[in-house]
Amino acid sequence: MQTRRLLAAIGLILALSACTAATLETDIDTSGQKDDVAPTVVEPEAAKSSAKSTKQVSKELPDSPVGMRNCALTQYVSKPLTWTENEAIFDQFNFRPNAVTVFADTVAVETTDYTFYYCPGDKAWVTLSNDVKSKSPDDRWYDLGDIANPAYQSIEVNGEVYEYRTRLKADWLAERGAAVEAPSDGDAQNEEDTVYFDLKLPNGDEINRELYTVSDLQAAKLGASLGVPDISSAAIAAPEIWFAATASQGEGDNGFASLLKYDLETETLSVKQPKEIQGDQLTDMVATEQDGKVTLWLGTQRMSEGVPFFPAKGLVAYQPASDELKTYTITNSPMVGAIPHALALENDLLWVATGDGTCRVKWQRIDTAKSWKCWRLAPQAQLPKEGVNIYDSFLATEPKAKLTKPEVEVLWAAESYGRGADESETPEMTRYEVVYEPGFETTLSQGGYRVADAAAKRAAMGEAIFWPGRQWHWAGDRFRRGMDEVGLNLVGGGPYGLVSSSASSGLRFDHNAIRGAFDLLALTPQETKVRYYSGWVDTEDLEVYPRLEPVKRPKKMNPNPLTEMASDLPNSGP
C-alpha cells in the first residue's frame, strides 16, 4: 500500500509530549567538569565493524570521495528535493541521518537522498545528491525468519572478530511458520516469550544471555508484548566491548533499553538497564574515556503506531561505573534537533547528527554552551522575479500577500485529496510551508488543560500540558518545531499542526502552520491565540534545495510564556 494512501485512515494519533521547556543558559551545567584533564577517545584504532555496526575512526583515515581540504563551495551542486510515487509529499524532508563518517579531510553526514560534507577551509557545508536508484524497504516491516533467526553483526578487536545479535524466542513465531533456531543451553528451560543476546567469540565459543521476558516487561509497565529486538551499535572501551540493545515499539510492543559489556580480560558478560532510559529506543552509541571513567554516548527516540519516531531523552551521557546519567535535549542544551540518529567521534569532538541538523561538541566540556557548534537544516528556494502568492493556511483560496524576496526558507509540504467518488491518486492541492516574517495572527479553537493522569505525565517526561503547541519547543524567543519533532501520523491523517478552522478537504486539515515558529499571545481552556511566522505557497512555483547553516541563538533568552499562562488551566483526568 502506498504511503500516501496510508494517510487515508480516519482519526488522528496525537502524541503527547512535554511542553514546558527549560531556558538555555550560557553555561549548561559546569558542575563536576575537569577542564585540565586531557580527553581520550577510547581505542578507536582497534575496531573494525560491520556495515550495521557503529562506524569507528581509524588512525590513517582516507580522504573523502570528493576531497574537502580546500573546497570551493560553488563547485558542488545538488538536486532539488523530490519525492517518489510511493512516498508522501513530506518525505522529501526526511533528513534523518543514516551515518556520520569521519575522513582525514572532512566529516560526512549521510541521509537517504543527500550527503552533507563539512568543509574545514570554508567552515561550511556542501551538499551532494546521492545516487539513489531505489529506496530501501521500510524498516518498520519485518520478515518472520529474520526475527526468529536474525543474522549476526560483527566487530573486529585487535584483529579478532566477535559476532553478536539479539534474538526473540516466542511461540507466535513458530505458530506462524517461522524457522525458529533450536534452543541453546541458555534458553531451553524458558517457555515464555524471551529476548536473548548471543555472542560468538573468536575461539568458536558462544555466550547466550537472557535479557528479559514478557513478564519482566509487563511488571515494569513498559508494554504488553515483546518488540523485535536489535543491536543498534557497538563500541570499544578497551578492555571492554559495549553493545546497545533496543527493540521496536507500538501496539503494546516494547523492550528494555539494555547496555551489554563483554570484558576481554575476564571473559565475562554483564548487562546494564538504566531506569532513566527505559521506554526509549537507542539509535546509536559511541564511547569515550576521561580521567579513567568510560562514558557511553547514546542517541534516543520513541515510536508508536503510525509514528515511526518522536523525541525521547535526546543525547544521553551514561557512566556505567557510577550509573551517573545526563541528558542533552533541545530544551536544556544548544543541540539542534530532538533525535540524535547518528554519532561519531573525532578526537576530542563528538558529532551529533539529528533529523534537523548537526552539532559538533567538545565532549569533555559538553556542559558549557560555547563548546557546541551547530548547524540547522534550512532548505531554500529561489523565488521568481514576479514573486509568489502566499496564503495564511494550507487550504486558503485567497492569497494574503505577495512574497517577492529573492529566496525563502521552506519548512514543510502538504497535499490534499478529494472525498468519496472523487478520490484519486492525484492530489487536488500541493503546497509548501515557508517562513513569512511579518506573520499572521489567529485564534485557534482549541485551548489547553493540565493532564493529571500519572501515566500521561510519564509519557510526556514531566508535567504535561495539553494544548495546540505541545509539539513545539520554547527556543528562548519563539516556539519552534524542528523536522524531527513533527509526528508523521502515517495511519492517522498525516502530520498535525496549528489549525484555526475545522474545515478539511478530503484527507487534509486546514493547517495554519505545521512547522512555523509562533508567539503565544493568550491561552485559555477554550482557545489559543498566536502569531505564527509562516505561510503557504503553491509547489509548482518553487524548486527547493537542502542547506545546512549555522544556528543563530537569540541574544536574550526569554522565559517560556507558557509557564505563566498555564498556571490557571484546569486539570483533566483522575
Cis peptide leading into 239, omega within 30 of 0? Answer: yes
pTM of the model: 0.86
Average pLDDT (141-158) is: 87
Which pLDDT value is given to residue 62?
66
> How far is residue 344's CA from residue 328's CA, in Å, rounded to a whole number?
16
Which pLDDT value is given to residue 458?
64
Q: Look at residue 127 and tell me whether its pLDDT is greater than 50.
A: yes
Percent of the chain scoring above 90 in pLDDT: 64
Per residue in 301-328, pLDDT tens? 999 988 999 999 999 999 999 999 999 9
Average pLDDT (66-89) is: 73
Which pLDDT value is given to residue 33?
36
Which of 44-53, 221-230, 442-451 is the least confident region?
44-53
Average pLDDT (273-278) is: 98
Average pLDDT (451-478) is: 81
Q: How far is CA 158 from CA 48, 106, 239, 455, in A?
A: 9, 26, 11, 47
Q: Look at residue 76 and tell me whether its pLDDT is greater than 70.
A: no
Average pLDDT (367-379) is: 97
Binned at pLDDT 50, 70 and 90, residue 179 comes out as low
Binned at pLDDT 50, 70 and 90, residue 29 comes out as very low
Based on the number of CB atoms within 10 Å of its own CB, is 183 exposed (0-12), middle (13-18) or buried (19 or more)?
A: middle
Which tops the pLDDT comparison, 492 or 561?
561
Q: Look at residue 140 and tell me whether its pLDDT is greater than 60.
A: no
How remote is the C-alpha of 322 from its chain's centroid?
A: 27
End-to-end C-alpha distance for the chain, whole angstroms: 40
Binned at pLDDT 50, 70 and 90, residue 61 comes out as low
> For 109-231, where are the alpha helices, taking DSSP H only?
144-148, 171-175, 214-219
Pull the grid cell for residue 521. Answer: 499571545
Which of 11, 57, 43, 6 is CA-nearest to residue 350?
57
Q: Look at residue 10 and tell me whether its pLDDT is greater than 50.
A: no
> How far is residue 485's CA from residue 337's CA, in Å, rounded to a whole number?
8
Which pLDDT value is given to residue 106?
87
Q: Look at residue 12 and tell me whether its pLDDT is greater than 60.
A: no
Which pLDDT value is given to residue 133?
64
Pull the grid cell for residue 16. Answer: 503527547
Question: Hey, how many other C-beta atoms are within 10 angstroms of the C-beta on 524?
Answer: 12
Provide CB contacts within 8 A for 366, sequence distance 6+: 28, 317, 328, 333, 350, 372
Which pLDDT value is given to residue 218?
98
Average pLDDT (435-444) is: 97
Q: What is the DSSP letter of 172?
A: H
Q: Look at residue 441 and tell me whether its pLDDT is greater than 90.
A: yes
